[in-house]
Amino acid sequence: MPSVDGIPRDSIVDELTAAYATAPIKSAQNELPLPEVPSPFTILAHERGWSRMIRSTATTDLQRLDARRIAIIKPSALGDVVQALPLLPALRRRFPSSHITWVVQRELSDLVTGHPDVDAIIRCDRRPTLSQVATLARELSQARFDLVFDLQGLMRSALMTWATRARHRIGLETAREGAHLSTTYTIPGTARDMPAHARYWRVAEALGVGDIPRRVLVQVPLSAHVAAHTWLADMPRPWIGVQWGAKWETKRWPVAGFADVLARAANAWGGTAVIVGAKADRAASEEMTRRIQTAAPNASVRDLTGRTTIKELAAVVSRVDAMFSNDSGPLHLAAELGTPSLGVFTCTSEVRSGPPGDAHEFVSTEVSCAASYHKTCPHTGEQHMACHQQLTAERVWRGLQRLIEKHVLANVSRRAA
C-alpha cells in the first residue's frame, strides 16, 4: 500500500479528511471569506481516477493581491529552509501588516525562532503519528490563512496546503507527487533547472519586491555566541569549519579525502579544523581526527560533532574563517551567513544546489552520472560510488587553496595585527 514516511496513505487521508471536515471555521469581520474547496481527499481521488478536480486557470496577480494571514510551508531540509529564509523580509515589505506563519519540522524550527518577520511557527513532525496528523490539520484550518506558499512541493506539503483552506495557494514548478493539484497558482520560472536559492527568490520577484537585498537572518542568542567563543577562542587560526555528514550516502565524499585535505591545510597554514555534524556522524568525525593527526601530528582539531544546537551551529559557522563541506545544510547556513565556503558536489549540481555569491569555491565530480540526484548509488561493481573516487583529494585541495588564499588569509592577518 502506498505510504508517506511509513504511514499507510489511506490512513492519512482518512484522518486528515475527517479533521478537515470537522474543524470549526471561524470568520471575522473584514477578513477575506473562506472559499468552499474540496477536501484533501480530492488530491488522491484524482490520482486514482475517482473524480476530476478542476484547478483554477485564472491568472493570479500577486503584485496586487491583498493578504492578512500568510503561511510559508517549508518543513525541511536544513539547507532548503536556509535558502528560503530571505523571503521573510520580502513578505514583510509586501504585506507590512500581515501575520506571517512558517510551517517547519520541529527539529529545524530554531532556524526561524526569533526572526523579526515571523509572527508564529507551526511545528510538524518528520514521522508523525495519525493523531499528530489530525492535530496539525486542525491547526492549519483554524489559522484562517488567506495566502499560502507551498515551497516544498510534495504530497505531504500538499495535504498541509489543502488543510489551510486558503483562497490563494501558491506553488512552484518543481512540485511533484501531485502537489500542484493543491495550489491555485504556480509561479513561472521556478523549474528544477533554476538554482534553488533563485527559485525561492522568484516568489519575492513575483510579489514585486525582488529588488530588496536578499539576506538570511538567523536570530542567535547570546548564550550560543558565548558557547561558540568558548569552543574556538583558544584555537589557532585560520578556523576551518568542516561538515562531512549528509543524509544521502552519495553526497558523502569519503572521510579519508577530507582528512587528506585538512592535513595539507594544517601543514600549509596551521590553524584548526572545526568539525561539526549530527550525533550519527561522531564515529566518522573521530576517524577523520585520527587520520588528520596521523598525517599532520601538530594539527589542531576541535570536534563539535553532535554537541551543537541549531542556534549554536549558526554561531560557530558564522565565526569560522572558512567552511569545507559536502552539499549539506551547514554548508548553506555558513555560506548564507557570510562565511567563505568550499562545497564538494558529487551527486548534486553546484549550479542547481550551490549557495549564491562569489565568495565561495566548488569542486564537482566529472563522471557521466554526476548531478544525477540519486540518494543511493544505482551502480554496482567498479562503478559503485565512482563519483567519490573520481573526485581526488588533490582537486579538492586546490579548491581549498583558492578559497583560503583569496578570501581568508588577509582577514586572519588583519585580526592578528
Across the range 192-199, mean pLDDT stands at 96
CA distance 374 to 392: 20
Asked if 3-206 and 222-416 have one fold, the answer is yes
23: pLDDT confidence band, cut at 50, 70 and 90? Answer: very low
Statement: residue 354 has pLDDT above 90: yes
- Please compute the mean of the pLDDT values over residues 128-141 and round it to a whole number: 96
The predicted structure's pLDDT at residue 386? 87
Cell numbers linked to 402: 583558492
Can you tell me the distance from the alpha carbon of 43 to that of 13, in angstroms, rounded to the nearest whole number? 10
pLDDT single digits (tens) 224-260: 999 999 999 999 999 999 999 998 899 999 999 999 9
Q: What is the DSSP string of 40-98?
A: THHHHHHHHTS--PPPP-SPP-TTT---SEEEEE----HHHHHHHTTHHHHHHHHSTT-
Where are the domains positioned within the chain?
3-206, 222-416
- Give me the phi and psi of 320, to 5 degrees please: -65, 160
| pLDDT > 60? residue 15 | no
Contact 312, 330 (CB under 8 A): no
Taking 60 as the threshold, does the pLDDT of residue 216 lie above it?
A: yes
**pLDDT tens sequence across 372-382:** 999 999 999 98
Can you tell me the mean pLDDT for 74-99?
98
To the nearest whole number, what is the mean pLDDT of the chain?
Answer: 87
Residue listed under C-alpha cell 513532525: 125
Record: fold of 222-416: Rossmann fold (3.40.50)
3-206 architecture in CATH?
3-Layer(aba) Sandwich (3.40)
